[in-house]
Every structure is written in C-alpha cells, then in structure tokens.
Structure 1
Amino acid sequence: MNRLKVITTHSNPDFDGFASCVGLKKIYPDFQIVISGNPFQNLSEFLRFYGDFFPFIYENELKGFNGDIEELIIVDTPDIERIGEEIKSKLSSDTKITVIDHHPDIRELNIENKNLNKIIKQTGAATTIVANMLKEKGIKLSNEEASLLGIGIYEDTGSLLFSSTTLEDLEAVIYLFQNGLSLNTVSEYIKFDLTIDQKIVLNNLLQNVKTYNVNNYQITIATAETEKFIGGLAAIVAKFWYAQNVDTLIVIVRMAKKVFITARTKSPDIDLAGLMSVFGGGGHKQAASAKVNIASVEEVEHKILQVLPNYINTGLKAKDIMSSPVRTALATESIEEVNKIMEITGHSGMPVVEGNKLVGIVTKKTVDKALNHGLGKRPIKSIMSSKLITAKLDTPVSVLRKLMIENDIGRIPILDENNILVGIVTRSDIIRAESSPKKSYLEKREEIKTTFNNISHLINERLSRRIVNLLRLIGFFGNEMNSPVYVVGGFVRDLILNIENYDIDIVVEGNGIEFAKYMAQQLNAIVVPYEKFFTANVIFKDGFKIDVATARTEYYESPGELPQVDISTIKKDLYRRDFTINAMAIKLNPQDFGTLYDFFNCQKDLEEGVIRVLHNLSFVEDPTRMIRAVRFEQRYGFKMENYTLDLLKKNLSERYLERVSGSRIRQEIEKILEEKNPIKAIKRMAELDMIKHIFPKTYYTATMEEKFVRLFKFIPYLKERFENFNDFYAVSTIFLEYYDKSTLEEMRAKYGYPKKFIETLKFTENIIIPVKSLIENRYPFSDIYKVCGKSNPYIYSHISAYLDEDEQNYLLSYIDTVLNTRIEKVTGKYLMERYQLKAGPILNNILEELFCLKLDNSNLSEEIAIESIVKKHIEKIEDSSKL
C-alpha cells in the first residue's frame, strides 16, 4: 500500500503558512506540499505568476489516492481542525505528526496522537522558524524561494515593526537576503493592518486619486494632506497598493511642512529610484521614496508629471526575451506524441497549429492529466486551450507580465506583423529578464569611490597671499557661525589644473545669506542677498566679489526653467552641478582646511581630460549644459565621454535646447565668445548639429567657418575703437545672414537684439558685395563712405568676414579715417550766414560732400573747398526753379 508524506498548513493559507511549507520541502524533499481551501488573494496572485517554481497540489487531488498519510508536518497552526478534510481523512493512528508554530499563547494542542512532535517558538512568523532551520543546515535557496519566505516574514511582522518581532526574525531575513530576497517582490504582495490615523490618511488618498497615461503607461497618483506627522506611510501605501491593484502608484502626502513621496510599480520599465532622485530621495527601481521641504502637493505632482517620461524606458520587449524558433504541436498529433516531445525538450507548454495557423496552446500539466486518464491516443487539439492570448514582437515585458497575471497563463505566443508565430515567452523568461535589469548610468561607471585628500599645499603654492588668507578667514567664520564652509566649482577645478581663477564660490551648510552678512561685517564689505535662491554676493571696496550659497539641491518645474531650491548637504549640492570636473569642494574650516571632497571620481576625470555629466537627466534639467560641455571641452582640450555625448545628442534631437529661454542660450554663447579661441567651440557645436537648434535656418559650412576665422581676427581691432562692443551681435551677423524678415523678428524676440541691429543686418546684406569690391580695388575712402556712411561696428564686423588680411587692413584704415576726420571750421550756421542758405537737407548734403573730400585729403582747406561745393548746389537749385 502506498503511503504519503505531506506538508500542509491551515485551510485558506496565507503567505506565512505557504512559505513555511515551501521551506520545509527543501529540508524534506520526499514530502508533498498539499494546500486546502482558497489561498489569500495576494498569495493567489503570487501563485499565478510564480506557481511553477513551487511544486504543490490542492487537497482535492488526494481523492484519487487510496493510501493513508505516513508522515504529516503542519505549519502555522496547532489546530488539526484547521487543516483540510481530505488530509484528515487519510490520517491513521500511527501517522507521525510534527507541528511547527510560532504563536506564543499555545497551551494544549488540539491533536490526539502518540507520535506527535511539537516545535513551538515565539517568533514573529512561522516562516522564521523554517528559515533558521534552513540556515542551520546550510541549504541554499533560489531568488524566488528566498523572496517567498521573505514575504511570509514581512507580512506577519508588519515589515518587522510589530511588537511580536524577535531577533530570530531579523536573523532569518538576513539569511534570506544572502540568498537573493527581493524587496521589490516583497513590497508588491504584503499587506498590513493600519492605525486609526493611518486609516484616515488612506481614506483621503482613496478620495483623491487621478490616473494619467504617460508614454502609454497607466500612472495612478493619490494625494493627501494632514497637519501632523503620521508614521508608517510605507504601510499605508502598501495597503492602497494591495487594495487598488494598480500598475504604478505614486502617493504624495503633505504632513505639516514637509511633503512625502512614496512610489511603487509593477513595471520594470519605470525607474522610480531615478524619479525619486530628482527630489533628493532614492530606493529601488520599482519601489522608492523622497521627502521635499517647502513645497505644495500640487507642485510636487506637477513636477512628477513633468519628469516622469524621462524615467520610463520600454526597455526589453518580447523580441528580446522570446524563444525562437518555436517548437509547435500539430493539432492532429496524439497526446502521447506531444508528451514525448515535451519530455525530450523539457517544454512545459507548446502552441498548437493547424494548417499553418495558431489554434491553441497546451500545457504539460494538461497532457499529464490526459495520460493518467488513458487518453494518450487522442489528438492534442482535444485537450488544448483555445483561449489564445498573444502579443507582438514590440510588446514590452511589463505588458507581457500583466497579461500572464490577468489571464492566469504561463506562456504567450509572439506574432509578427503578419500574425505569423515567431516566438514564445514564458514566465521564466520574464522573471529572468526582470532579475537582470539594465544598469543605471552611475552603475555603468566603474566603482565610484569617495575621496578626501588634503591639498592645502596647492592652495599655498598656487594662490596669492591675499586669497589664501581670505580662504582661511572664511573657514574661521564658518566655525564661529557653527557651519561647515567650502569653496567649490570652477575655482577648485582650476586650482588643481594650476590655472589662475579668482572667481570664488562659497557653499555653506547652513544659512548662506546669514553667513554672507556675517562675513561682510567682519571684512567691511557689502552684501547683496538673493533670498529666492538662498545666495548672496559679498563685494569688497576694490570691486573684488565672492559668491556665497546655501548647500542645496535643485529640482526643475519643467526642462529648461530656472531651478527651485531646497536646503541640502554638500554632497547633494555637488551632485546637482553640471559636470564631474566642476563637482569638487575644498573645506575651509580650520580643522579640515584644504580637504578636497571628491564624491564622484572627479579628479580622475580631470586627470584624463573627460567631460562627464553626473546623472542621466543633467541635460534635460538644464539644456544649456550642452553648450557648456562644448565650452569646457574646447577650453581645456578635453573630450566628452561616450555616454555623456550620447545623452547630449539624444536630448538635442529631442529639442530640449529649444525649451530654454533665449537669454540663457545667449549667455552661454557669450561665455564661449570670451574664450581665447571661440572658433573651436563654434566648430564643435556645428559638428554636433547644435547650431541649428540655436539658429534654426543656419547651415554651417566651410565657407561660413572661413567667415568666422576672418571675423575673429578683426574683432579685437573693433573693440579698440568702439566702446561696449558686443561679440554676440558681431557673430550673429554671420549666423543670421540672409534670414527672412519674419524669422529675424523671431530671433530678435528670443535673443533680445535691438530693432536697429536687425535693420543694420539687412542693410549690410545689400551693400556687402559692392563694398568688398571697392576695398579690393582700393577705391578712395570717399567712395566707400558714400555706400557705408558712418557705420556702426557691426556693419564693419560683417564686412570684415568677407575680406582677406590686406583688405581688412584697408577697411581698418578707412574706419580710423572716418572716426578721426572732423569738419572744424565750416558749420551749418557758417553756411547760412555766408551764403544766405536756408536750414534744411541742403546744408547736410553740402557738409557731407565736404566730409568726403576731407576723407581723401586730410590737409584740405575747408574754406576754399566749400566755395565750389556751395556754388554747385546753388546752381542746381536755380536750374530746378527754372523748370
């Protein structure tokens, strides 16, 4: 007679009971797990997806078994009345029974059996007892097994927060972590009991739910507000998550003056850790949180919706993980034949085809049942399931996962655009894909090691005595204000590179404005505060300036807008900066003076000449950094590392630069024009296709580059001769050359050109060819003047771009002559009194003619020359009167 060995738990099992059974089977592999009743809903959902990993049968499958139970292990209950009736019916007087339970109030067990063994320990969960048994025996678990047991412990201990939690529970969790426990999986399935206050918050959340479609992903956002702090938000979110069964949940709760954000997602395509990093938080890809100071719920919700698309990556698709080609079964093949194929290949399911058409799918479990009933000769189509759930090649893995759970299926056939079967995806395929997610940008980098090196010797060797003393004083002021103080950014970068840079930026971990006021008071300087940004300028009597800021993180309302500011630490302050080479700080407090803070391998990038952003969204949050990256590349002879370059190109193609105000783009261009060799940066911007995103109808060519080379040679001469010369206007004459009037008006509105500049540009376009010809042929200055007149410097700069060196010299002589020529004796009054001329255009015409004569002959006698000029004009007037 056959006899069974069974592991079971109470009817309608929860995670603690079922997980304990699974753990025990690792110790007793010859036992069969049998469960009775209906599993709790969250366990049922878990088994729909992960059931194939845990061999078990339902109690009704014992009915065909005639023997009794030789050994029985009961977990998570001491009461035999709570186990299944079919199991109880197969117990005998000599059945060996072991009870494993964790309830501390056990007195007498309701089991009458002489072969009874009891293992009762006061722990938070029965799974804890089993996990520690596994640990003692040195048994290794799979990721799925460890996660299942973890759910059992976390659920029964309220995530280790219930008073019944013991040290043994903690030790068991550590063991499970060592074996691959996934907190993402745990958070997806656990449920909690809530306090009254927590239930109020939950109720408010349920009444304030909005659903958004973001990149074809359903995002649920729930909000609530309370005037006091209420702990256990994670438990509230888990309850909501369990009750509402949404794909992606983001909860925003204002408690007093702080806003807490907690997010969960079932989709491996949504990076919640990245999303929360925008708000200074973190976590895991599918479960993360953050805390924001001084913000409203509405602001945070708006910000989330703005940046969330950047953290959605459709990632892996069906075509990336499917098995192909697909082993299929013909509809007419017998069940026996299909079983042989499954036995050989190890497939647990196969699509069924008929006449080259997919008609159904069959599982190994169904085949085994059919064979047990003696149906092996029948065609496979007689037992196949015709309920076909299919997907396309580009279906995201997250969608496949959802389809499997909703339809309680373990495999999905994949069809191409012609609806031809090309592959199949199983639960195992999805689980493997999700257990190996794509690495984030920082994870792709080599290991980042924070370093703290003292470089005070460089400060003493490379800086002037005044600057060294000033930095030391600032450090002393920091101690007096009880605030850590740092010099940061470009000053630190250039100090290490041994390049002179006295633009000093100070960051204070505290109140930067109050620190600036204190510093100014001590140094007899002036303070200009900027309350909105927690910054201030300290200006000395000789004009020397120091910028002081509060250590902060920034988040952006939308790409390209100015940042909102929140108090933070020096590390977060550095993390918000543009590139690693600018993300170092030197502490100035006396006890740590000269200590370099390098959190992101900045020195290494500086040594290797690498421009690298600190995070994936750097160019999205501030698109002007794309221009800045080019400027730093060309200034130092560095290169953007590949990923940064890829990000730049991607964000450029997605037109993020167009979202920035023209004034901010203009500022960055003006900084490029201040560099020693700006043509290098302009050329690089052209290589990256960046110029057309700044000037939309400009096409950078070799001819344009030649114009810029000639222009930049000439600009220094113009700066010597004209005050307030604007380099941006000068280069714009080339960038905007031959634009139509409507586009020029758009550019004027965007970049703030004066209306007169646009008029000048169109005027120059009409005269530039004849003026070039006059200069080439060395015509007298008076002839050039008749075309150009007394031009502004941007007409000259535009013309210079068309001239070679000798021709530029001739133009320069012309400019000097025009600027230095004066009519000293003849005036309008002189003409009216001597020749009885009336005021009007004639006077200006006569004086202009005299000026032209003087351009060609600086020694000209004005009194003699004017006689013939006036006579000619009077004769013209007399002739016209006769007509």
Structure 2
Amino acid sequence: MQVVILDEGSDLDAFSSAYGLTLLSPDTYILLPNSYDYKVRKTLDIFQEKVKNKVLKKQDVDFSKVNKAFIVDSQNIPDLDIPIEIFDHHPNKNLKRKNVKIHLYKTGSLSSVIVKKLKKQKIKIDKEDATILALGIYEDTGGFKFLGTTNKDLKAYSYLLNVGLDLIKLKYIVSDTFELEDTEALREIIKNVEALPVENKKVLISYLVKKYNKDTAWILKYVRPFEEADAYFLVVNQKSKKTIIARSKDKDIDVNKIMFQLDGGGHPFAASTTLVGFDYGEIKNFLTYLITGKDKPVSQFIKNDLPVVESDLSLSQVKSIINRFKYVVVLQSGKYAGILTDKTVNNAIKHGLKNEKAITFAQELITVSPSITFLQLLKVVSNYDIGIFPVVEKGFYKGVIYKKNVIKTLAGLNEDKPLFNLPSKVKTVNYSERLKRFFPKYVLDLLKEIGKFSEKLGYRSFIIGGVVRDIVLGKQNLDIDIIVEGSAVELIKKYAKENNLTYHVYPEFMTGNMVFPSGLKLDFATARKEEYDSPGSYPKVEKADLFQDLYRRDFTINTLAIEITYSNFGKLIDYFNGLVDIKEKRIRILHTLSFVEDPIRILRALRFAGRLGFKLENKTENLLKHAVEKDLLNFAPTGRINLELNLTFKEEKVLDILKIMDKYKVLYKLFGITLDREKEKILVKLQDNFLIFKELLNINFPSSNYIYALLSNYPEEIAYNLLKKYHFDKEAKYLNEFLSAFKTIEESQDRYTIYKTLKSFNREFLPALTSFLDSEKFKVIIDLLKKEKNPLIKGEELIKLGLKPSPEFKTILEDVFVKYLNDYFESKEMALSYIKKKYLKEV
C-alpha cells in the first residue's frame, strides 16, 4: 500500500497531481488533510463516484501497512520511517534525509508533470480522469496567463483535451462565485492598498484583518490596483500569526527568493509564508529591505572588524590586544572557540587571574551560519539580549553580526516609524492557574493583597528564585522570597503598619521580612545589582531593576520570576532560558566569571545537581573544574562554606550530593579527603541511623553528624583544626568526648559499661557514633536504649510490694536495671521475684 499525503490547505494542483499518482500506481491512496481549498471540495463533490475509492482520511490509515509515501506540491517531510518521494515544482530548500527522494520540475503546474508520465507509460485514462488532471493545470497557470506557465503545461493540457474534457464541469470548478464574505474581504483589501518605497518599480501591499474562511489567494486577481503592479503582497491576519501571499510579474522581483528569506517559498512569480510575532509595519520594512536588490540580505550585516586571538594567550596579553574594542574573538586550532568581552578580561585580571588562558573564560555566544535566512536572523536577534552574534561555518569564524546594525537598517526604512520594534527577549507565561494549584488559598490571597499594595505604592513585586523553580517542577515549597522594583523597606513598613504585623527591616541591605498571623514569614528585597572586589568577597549592592537583579544570581534555573503586582498577577518572566534549562535538567551559570566572583556557587551548583538530579552544562562544568583546580574555595568566607555544607547535610539526597562533590574534587580541596568504599558505607549507615534513632529516642539530631563521618580517617588534632576552620564549633567541642566514647564502646564487652558511656555521651551525635560500630555492637546499643526507654521495674511496682519511698529505692532500681541490661531477667515476674527475695527480707 502507498499513500499520497496532502498538506493542510492543499489546492487543485496538489489534488490533481495526487490523483494522477493513483492512476500511475493503482495501490496508491490520497490522504486528505483536515482543511483544503474550496475548489478541491467542489471537485470531490462533483467527482465523488470517481474518487471515493482513492481517498482516505489519515486517521483511518494503518501506517504499519504503508510501504511508501508520496508528497506533492510541497516539501514538508512527514515523520515516517518509510521511503518517501517528493514531487514538486518549487525550488529545493536543500532538504536532505536518507529515506527521501526529491523530484523537482520547472513547470507552472505539477499536474503537467504527472500527465506526461501517464502519457509516456501509455496508461489509459477516461474523460473524467482527464478533467480532474486538467483542473490542476488550468488553476496553477491561471488559465495559462501566469508568467510561470511553460510549454510543458500547454502540451499536457493539449493531450488531455484530445482525450476529452468535461469543460462545463471544469469551468464550474475553476470559476469563482462571489458571496457576501468574498465581497467584504475584497473591499477591505482594496481599501488598504499602499505602495512600498521601491525605486523604479511599482510594488503594492495590502492587508486583510477581517476573518475570511476561504483561501485568500483566489481573490487577488480581482483587486484592481494589483493588476498594474510589478509585484504585490497581501498580509492576512490569522490570530497570532500573519500569512503573506506574494505575486510578481517582474523577473527582477523574485518573490520565491523573498519569501525564502522569510522561511517560506513558492515560484519566482507566486510564493507565500507565515510569520509569528511581527506587526504589519515591521513586515513592510522587511519586504522593502528584501526587494531592493538584497540577494544575500544577511551577508550585508556580517562584519570582520574584531581582533582575533589564539586560545592559549594570557588574559594580560588579550588586554593589550583588545584595546578600544568591546569584544575579542578566541580561536582554538584555527576554529572559533568563543568571545571575550573587555569587562570579563578586566574583572578577571582584577581578581588576580591575568595569567589564565583566553579560552578559560571565553563565552560560547549564540552563533549563526552565513546561510541563515533573514527571518531566522531576526528571531535570533530578538530572542537573545546580547550585542553580537558570531558567524561560524563548519567551525570556522567568518565575522560577526551586530544587533544594533540590524535594528538601525530596518528602522531607517520607514520614516514614520523611527524605531524598529524587535520582540522583547523576555519570555512570559501565564502561571496564574498554576499558582492556584501550588499555594494554599491563604498564601495565594496574601500574595494578591501584597501585589495590590505594591501597585498602590507605584512599585512592581515578584516572587523569585527557588520557589518559582519548584513551582515549575511541581515540588512543594513555601519559602517565599519577594523582589520589589521600588523600595522593599518602604513597602514592608507601610504594609506592616497598616495590618499591625511584626516586621524587621535592614535598610543598609535594602531587605526585610514580615511575619503573618498564620506563622508564614515572607522575605523581601529591593531589586539590586552586585559587584565583587575579590573572589569570595561579599558584594557591593545598589538599587536596580528586575533584569539586573536576576542577572546577578547563580544559575539560570534560579532566575525565574512571577509577578504578583495586581495588573500582571501570575505572569512568569524568563530572561535567561531558565524554563528550558529546567526542562533539559541542567545547571548553567549566567556568566563565565560566576565561580571566580563567588566560589560558594561551586558548592551550590553541586548541591542543586544532586538534589534535582540535574547535570552541569558543559561550559559550566569546565569553569567549575577550573575554579576548583585553582583553589578558589580557599578565598571564600569559611562561615559561608559552613552554611552551605550544613544545607547540604540537610538535603534528602545528601549522599548523592557528597558523591558529586567527591567527583569534582571539592571534598578533597576542603578537607583533603575522598569518598572511598569504606567511607561511603559509613555515610549510608549514618543516613539510616538518623531514622532509627529519631523513632527510638524522638530526638531531632543535627545534620552536622555528617562532618564526623567525613573526617573519620583523621587523627584528633587534624580533625579538630578542620572543624574549627569551617566553624563547626560545637562538633569541635565534643570531638574528644566523641572519640573517647567510641573507643570505650568499641573495646568494652560489658553492657553496663557501654550503657554508662552512652548515658554521659551527648546523644546529639549518636547517629555518627554508631555508624562506625560493627553490626553486633550496634544491636547491643539499640537493645540498651530500648531497655532504658522501657525499664522492667519502676517506682510504683516497689510501692505495690509494700516498700516505702526512700533513698534505697534508687539502689534497688539500679540493681535491677543493671541485671536487666545484662539479660539476667527475662520478664517482669523474674525481676519482682528477685526483689522479694533480696530486699523484702532485709526490710
């Protein structure tokens, strides 16, 4: 079984060609799209008996039984793992796929090609077959009046005429019958006709906003002003997209080339495309630029004016070369390796990295190919907030395209519109429904209330960071941070006063918080930017906007914001492709000096990677490795390292994070340790012990137990110094007691001695202590603690025996308890019998 797959909106030529293929191969069926030209609908209605056994709907086809597919009058390749043959009379878009064979012809109609094949193979056709085939030829050549008409079209039609045509049916189908909506659409198109500023040519353009349910192309021949034009364009508004229909009578205006640059195509004299995100004025600018002799419109923007350096040059050498330039191109083995900015070079040198190689901090900016289409260039320029786009072909640097030049050129084409309005880089998504599902109602109502209050003050407010990331991931989180474009301190003071709330503000840091009756605490900060004087130093901050605030953050997955200001409540804002990075499960820094300026981000990157199961993006990974190798963690404040380690120890996936830290040699740089098999076993036991002892003793053990496990291979003095260095002061204080208790318990066989040791030991660190013991000794400790929790005999039992409370109570209870610990008694009855024999006689 073979099928001919028709595109959405297919016209008569496509249908006639497809029908011809069913005559060439009887086991071939036409798959109709959901929508097609109204003239195809008329054809199906008139010739229903003839075509009913040749036409199928896509949903009715079992593709496992299809061994070949044909595509006609199109080059849109379906995603099928079977041989595909394309028949088309449009120029090739350089499509390549291993299972696709393409046949291209220079004719006004593709149906003419199929008729020639039928004639050559001497396949007999009747009058109805000939009429169906003739429809495509007549329609696509405009009754042989279009400039693209060829001798092959005339010969094919002549052959069909000799076979016999039903000219009455043909005329009925190709004739245009005007209805009210046709008249209204035509009136709007004529009203909106205007000329494009093209010298020595009459080029017209118009637009249609009114909803029109038919194929618009057929109506163009009735637009009287278009008849005298060398070329014309119609822009049809369709919800969020716009379709451009192009026609030309002048060989100097190849509308196929023009539409190709806008990711469309067709013939030199008839073509079309669809655009998303541009308005009518911008489309006029694009067409004007492309018409005025720009065979290679993108190449006009490619400049070769930047200095180029080899990858192994030092940053101090690059600084002497970069001179007055803002950028320098880095090559490695002759091929493009990235871009260095003057700011990156200067900051790196300021941080003492003047001898580092250029390749280390080269940014892998978005690159474009010299063969990129004009529309693709516009999309790239629109979507990325960077000033230049390196042009690279097969790895080799060819120049750069400056964003400002693209905007300036296009803006200058229209005197009435001095600025070219590229779509903003920022991506926005409506998350209001997601917020309703994520937050409890009282939290959602509170955020709305704060958003209203913020707007009343003339501010904009956003929830940002981790909570937004977790909203995207669907992970529960009520740790809410709010950024204010305005003054967070003023907002807190006024809102708290108005609602009688407890609050704290820190004006020097432009931050503060409010505590609500529900117990919820919200943290606020004024949008600000930062600058680091040295690696690991605390940054200098100053007021900024949301973009600048987010740009200072650690990773793209933490740069998402959701506005809570009343008029934009629920709008998610994504400047740095954070949503894509979350979807792709990768950790990516925002700029190449990120780990240099704040080495704590090394620990944070690995913590997030372990917690979320994400991987480091390639450049991020290389820069992290470099920062670790250069011992940049030695420059980080040890107090911040302590904070980050404690956050790691509290993570559910702490073992995964520690393994990642070990993989990147972070544990070695901090403590001089690696995770061997023995240490991993200890860590696994420790994680289990937290749960066991929590249930047994109902104690919330500090997560810092992990630090004892990590430093277990060190002598006491070294371990003590490391604990003090990283501010584990309590753990350092109890280290001697910890080691002494472990030694006693490990060596002792006397259960009471072990118990006395446990009794005097700081039980906060019991999970770590027991993780070093063998299974038998661990069982002993569990048994001892259970017996301590549930002693056989209590004071009330002694009173029931007739003993009066006295100092001897303690002696009796301790005597019984010691024997119970050593398994002397198997039951309460045995213990009571022992007391009666020994103590009641004495009394």
TM-score (normalizing by structure 1): 0.46
